[in-house]
Amino acid sequence: MNLQKRQLGNSGLEVSAIGLGCMGMSFSFPPFPDKKDMIVMLRQAVERGVTFFDTAEVYGPYVNEELVGEALKPFKGEVVIATKFGFNIQDGRMVGLNSRPENIRRMVEASLKRLRVETIDLLYQHRVDPAVPMEDVAGTVKDLIHEGKVKYFGMSEAGVQAIRKAHAVLPVTALQSEYSLWWREPEGEILSTLEELGIGFVPFSPLGKGFLTGKIDANTTFESTDFRASVPRFSEENRKANQAVVDLLATIASGKEATTAQVALAWVLAQKPWIVPIPGTTKLHRLDENLGALNVALTSDDLKKINEAVSKINIQGDRYTEAAQKMINR
């Protein structure tokens, strides 16, 4: 199947207009499905035209890259796999930032093996590390590109200053950060900076970690190991307050014969032609639903209506715990 394609900025890297975030298959959102089922699902995503898959060393740690590597091995050269470096991992846990050159190199060698590839298509710095000069980080990735171990360089949750510093050393192909109708902070300075520099944007959680699908409400309970159980925005009272956004999307969806999730994704896609969202899912029918967003046409009137309505809704609750928030460079 041929899905619409998009280019990530000026880099020339072309991917399916919607990618697949693989994190939830083995990290953050338990209970985790059977690995065999996820291999089948990843391969069916390729059959449906998805060519852009997102993983990271710390998802698991390690097991998510292994899963993606095994599932996508038959499609070498046909798909783009993105992974990330930038944390210390001890005893199977993520402990603090580490973007020192030797750690980047060690991680790349290990990720190449787990992903079963000779070259990493897109390598992101997972979080900006204030202890390591950006020139050293981008310089190391530049060397890895010369060595043929990496093709493109990306950053995640980076602020404008960090992006500019990195881009001056090595062109940044894509920034991956959270962006959706209920987290619009990138509209402040980030999107205009990316446009100016010719950098693509890869929004994660374009469905608000599931909230914008309309399948979560004030009565939903999360497992204690579910990342959302500790997120202020997902507290019961905040879910009640934030329901207004979902109700708005549902109204528009009913007029388009679409689902709430499809309208939320179509809104993200409509913002810029160089935006490629990577909603995550472990269910094939949800993948099909997400890809169906490419057929939902939002008119300028629809977009205006959504923007006006959302600007009147005061979204309640921080998107991360205080500790997680400290790792974000703004």
Give the residue numbers marked as catalytic: 59
For the chain, what is the radius of gyration of the CA atoms?
19
- d(CA 101, CA 33) in angstroms, rounded, equals 35
Burial grade of 204 (CB within 10 A; 0-12, 13-18, 19 or more): buried
Q: What is the DSSP string of 157-195?
A: S--HHHHHHHHHHS---EEEEE-BTTB-GGGTTHHHHHH
Smallest CA-to-CA distance from 244 within 319, 310, 178 is with: 310
Q: What are phi and psi of 203, to 5 degrees?
A: -75, 130
* Contact of 239 with 231, CB cutoff 8 Å: no
Contact between 48 and 3 under an 8 Å Cβ cutoff? The reply is yes
Cα–Cα distance, 98 to 232 (Å, whole number): 27
CA-based max dimension of the chain: 54
Other residues' Cβ atoms within 10 Å of the Cβ of residue 229? 12
Q: Which two tokens stand for residue 124?
A: 């992101």
Which stretches of 117-157 are assigned E, i.e. beta strand? 120-125, 150-156
Round to the nearest angstrom and report the end-to-end CA distance of the chain: 39
Please state, in angstroms and rounded to a whole number, the distance separating the CA atoms of residues 202 and 179.
9
Q: Is 19 exposed, middle or buried (0-12, 13-18, 19+ CB in 10 A)?
A: buried
Q: Which residues contact 70 (CB under 8 A, 6 or more apart)?
A: 39, 116
